[in-house]
């Protein structure tokens, strides 16, 4: 009897010990996955923000050309048209520009037919049509844009809205052209109406493939319920940003005949979007954030439509002040504020509202990561909210894994509504419901059905996509990397320590990543803790097109500045035909070489141009050119 009890007790101890071992193993496994998830997230976000910083640097260079080169200079002539902020200035002339009456809808058109004024039924038809991948006829697009422009012009810079016991308000963050997220929000929460008001907090466009459809749906509901649907401007409601991140290309692809006019009208509409919304005088909703100089009284008096692009300062502002606003130094934001004139202060207000991010430390410093706006701390939140008698700031602008994030003692809430933003499974989307208690109730979702069915291990598969993107960044900087590694290799052994590899890699890419943690996923072999960097560069498994050019360095410049080149191409392509001449191609490279402060020979440019002019007609298709130079990761 006693022996039986002893065996039972021993078996129970073994079971408990086994359970503890399994539990410890599982916790370590989950911790490793979480560490890998954070690394993946850092890679995606660092590359995204580096691209934004690149965009602002390029545009700063354009601004420098406009301010310092003579009007007759060829470089200035190439880009001057993007700075013509009011090409058509009188409202009567704009009315003619919005005219759609000479555009006929053919009998063969199978999409939705709209009647004006817009009705709930009409917008509902539009939603259903876009759900089934139908395209709206250009005549109706222009009609919606014209009506939206007329309405936006009478709206204030800051919308003041109220919620009641019977009417909650819904707040949505960035959508970035992902129509499936908007449709899912409407499915879960209901369509906008007088009983169900919405605030959409900017960044409706770019990156995704359905930016125009999102705009048309939101503009449609705005026309039907102007007091119950509110739109804030985001930093991507900017025609210069659209050149780089896809919206311009989307419009021209969908509307080849009327695309140029649609883009021009949207440029005007974006400049008229309100800058902020205040709920019950207590909750501020703005796309980016605030700074220590934020003053809602100043914001309310801004001539917002003058700022067609917030990347371009007012004409009275000097380049020095502009570079202070979009700076890449550690200078405190506050140090440049007193030197600005009143119009420049106004510009600063708008830049900070659309581009800024919160940080955990006190203070207010320039946002070096994005290249625009500022980082502000909890002390600034307390001061600005207290000064305006507000209790909460709701902002968007940053992708969050859970679709939302509180910070600054829960007085700042970031909301992001584009799920699967970096990759399927990378993040949830979320939106807010808020009633009279002004407590935010958060609803999360994932637009991809496939993603909801992923196992725990499969949910982290998107790290492969992040590593592919990172390998591409390493590949296009290979010459600079080798030079940086050689500084730690005075005896030319071809090997350096892991510490030196991590330090040199960060000094070149400047992405702020934990390189030593990422080593096992990037470097397949080490020898006694040393990295054979020459062999490692060869093993990055990236392929590139084989072209006969006299100067191979031009290819590396091409890969490294792929997005900048495409931006310049689309600026130079003034008729939006998608084609540029060989001379324009040469001028593009000359403009880029001026920006990069490097010499690129005419012969190298000519060789490259002729090698990709496949049909020898003297012109280059922009899309074909960019696709021809797309890097392919063989490791995938």
Distances from the Cα of 519 to the Cα of 35, 498, 633, angstroms: 13, 8, 18
Q: What's the whole-number mean pLDDT along residues 59-86?
A: 62
**Better-scored residue on pLDDT, 115 or 61:** 115
Place of tokens 């030079």: 483
State the pLDDT at residue 502. Answer: 93
Q: Are 200 and 192 in contact (CB under 8 A)?
A: no
Q: Are 411 and 391 in contact (CB under 8 A)?
A: yes
State the pLDDT at residue 561. Answer: 72
Asked which of 6-10, 417-421, 504-508 is least confident by mean pLDDT, the reply is: 6-10
What confidence category does residue 333 fall into, taking pLDDT thresholds of 50, 70 and 90?
very low
Share of the chain above pLDDT 70, in %: 81
Highest mean pLDDT (candidates 45-54, 101-110, 138-147): 138-147
Asked which of 178-187, 353-362, 618-627 is least confident by mean pLDDT, the reply is: 618-627
The token pair at 499 is 């510490």
CA distance linking residue 471 with residue 467, whole number of Å: 6
- In 519-585 the beta strands, taken as DSSP E runs, fall at 530-532, 542-543, 579-581
CA distance linking residue 124 with residue 112, whole number of Å: 10
Question: Considering the entire predicted model, what is its pTM?
Answer: 0.83
Question: Is 236 in the active site?
Answer: yes
What confidence category does residue 319 fall into, taking pLDDT thresholds of 50, 70 and 90?
very low
Q: Is 260 exposed, middle or buried (0-12, 13-18, 19+ CB in 10 A)?
A: middle
End-to-end CA distance of the chain: give it in Å, rounded: 63
CA distance linking residue 172 with residue 404, whole number of Å: 11
The answer to whether residue 518 scores a pLDDT higher than 90 is no
The answer to whether residue 88 scores a pLDDT higher than 50 is no
Q: Is 501 exposed, middle or buried (0-12, 13-18, 19+ CB in 10 A)?
A: buried
Report the alpha-carbon angle 71-74-76, nearest 5.
50
Q: Report, in this order, helix, strand and coil percent for the chain, each rounded to 5.
A: 50, 10, 40
Closest-CA residue to 347 (of 316, 368, 377, 376) = 316
Helix residue ranges, H only, 202-310:
211-224, 239-245, 247-254, 259-272, 296-300
Question: pLDDT tens digits, residue range 59-72?
Answer: 777 776 666 655 55
What confidence category does residue 544 fall into, taking pLDDT thresholds of 50, 70 and 90?
low
Q: Are 365 and 319 in contact (CB under 8 A)?
A: no
Q: Is 100 exposed, middle or buried (0-12, 13-18, 19+ CB in 10 A)?
A: middle
Asked which of 125-129, 251-255, 452-456, 610-614 is least confident by mean pLDDT, the reply is: 452-456
User: From the centroid of its chain, how far is CA 430?
Assistant: 17
State the pLDDT at residue 523. Answer: 86
Q: Are 423 and 464 in contact (CB under 8 A)?
A: no
Question: pLDDT tens digits, residue range 377-388?
Answer: 999 999 999 999
Cα torsion angle, 93, 97, 98, 103, sign: positive
Which among 236, 239, 287, 462 is annotated as catalytic? 236
State the pLDDT at residue 546. Answer: 57
**Better-scored residue on pLDDT, 56 or 303:** 303
Q: Are 393 and 412 in contact (CB under 8 A)?
A: yes
Secondary structure tally for the chain: helices H, strands E: 25, 20
């Amino acid at each position: 009897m006693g022996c039986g009890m002893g065996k039972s007790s021993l078996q129970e101890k073994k079971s408990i010990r086994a359970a503890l071992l399994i539990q410890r193993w599982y916790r370590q496994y989950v911790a490793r996955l979480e560490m890998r998830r954070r690394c993946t997230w850092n890679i995606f976000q660092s590359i995204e923000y580096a691209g934004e910083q690149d965009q602002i640097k390029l545009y700063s260079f354009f601004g420098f050309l406009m301010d310092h080169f003579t009007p007759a200079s060829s470089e200035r002539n190439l880009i001057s048209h993007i700075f013509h902020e009011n090409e058509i200035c009188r409202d009567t002339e704009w009315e003619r520009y919005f005219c759609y009456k000479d555009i006929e809808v053919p009998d063969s058109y199978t999409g939705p037919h709209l009647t004006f004024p817009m009705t709930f039924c009409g917008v509902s038809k539009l939603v259903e049509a876009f759900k089934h991948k139908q395209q709206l006829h250009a005549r109706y697009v222009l009609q919606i844009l014209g009506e939206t422009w007329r309405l936006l012009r009478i709206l204030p810079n800051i919308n003041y809205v109220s919620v009641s016991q019977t009417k909650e308000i819904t707040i949505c963050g960035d959508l970035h052209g992902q129509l499936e997220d908007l449709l899912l929000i409407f499915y879960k929460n209901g369509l906008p109406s007088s009983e169900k008001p919405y605030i959409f907090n900017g960044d409706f466009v770019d990156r995704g493939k359905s930016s125009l459809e999102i705009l048309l749906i939101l503009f449609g509901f705005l026309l039907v319920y102007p007091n119950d649907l509110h739109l804030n401007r985001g930093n991507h409601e900017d025609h210069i940003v659209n050149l780089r991140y896809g919206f311009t290309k989307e419009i021209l692809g969908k509307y080849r005949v009327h695309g140029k006019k649609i883009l021009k009208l949207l440029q005007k509409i974006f400049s008229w979007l309100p800058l902020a919304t205040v709920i019950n005088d207590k909750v501020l909703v703005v796309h980016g954030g605030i700074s220590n100089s934020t003053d809602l009284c100043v914001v309310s008096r801004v001539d917002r439509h003058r700022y067609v692009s917030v990347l371009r300062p007012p004409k009275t502002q000097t380049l020095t002040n502009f570079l202070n606003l979009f700076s890449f130094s550690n200078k405190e934001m506050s140090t440049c504020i007193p030197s600005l004139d009143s119009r420049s202060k106004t510009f600063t207000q708008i830049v900070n509202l659309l581009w800024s991010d919160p940080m955990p430390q006190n203070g207010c410093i320039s946002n070096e990561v994005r290249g625009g706006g500022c980082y502000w701390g909890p002390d600034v939140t307390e001061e600005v909210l207290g000064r305006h008698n507000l209790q909460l700031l709701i902002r968007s602008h940053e992708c969050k894994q859970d679709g939302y994030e509180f910070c600054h003692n829960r007085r700042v809430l970031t909301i992001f509504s584009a799920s699967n933003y970096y990759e399927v499974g990378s993040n949830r989307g979320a939106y807010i419901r808020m009633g009279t208690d002004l407590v935010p109730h958060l609803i999360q979702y994932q637009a991809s059905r496939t993603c909801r069915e992923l196992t725990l291990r499969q949910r982290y598969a998107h790290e492969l996509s992040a590593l592919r993107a990172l390998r591409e960044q390493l590949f296009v900087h290979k010459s600079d990397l080798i030079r940086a590694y050689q500084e730690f290799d005075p005896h030319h052994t071809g090997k350096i320590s892991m510490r030196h590899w991590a330090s040199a890699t960060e000094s070149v890419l400047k992405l702020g990543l934990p390189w030593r943690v990422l080593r096992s996923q990037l470097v397949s072999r080490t020898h006694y803790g040393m990295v054979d960097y020459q062999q490692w560069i060869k093993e990055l498994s990236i392929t590139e097109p084989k072209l006969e050019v006299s100067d191979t360095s031009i290819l590396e410049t091409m890969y490294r500045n792929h997005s900048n080149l495409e931006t310049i191409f689309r600026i130079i392509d003034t008729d939006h035909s998608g084609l540029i001449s060989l001379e324009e191609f040469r001028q593009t490279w000359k403009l880029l070489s001026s920006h990069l402060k490097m010499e690129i020979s005419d012969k190298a440019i000519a060789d490259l141009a002729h090698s990709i002019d496949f049909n020898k007609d003297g012109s280059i298709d922009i899309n074909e050119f960019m696709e021809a130079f797309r890097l392919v990761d063989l490791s995938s």
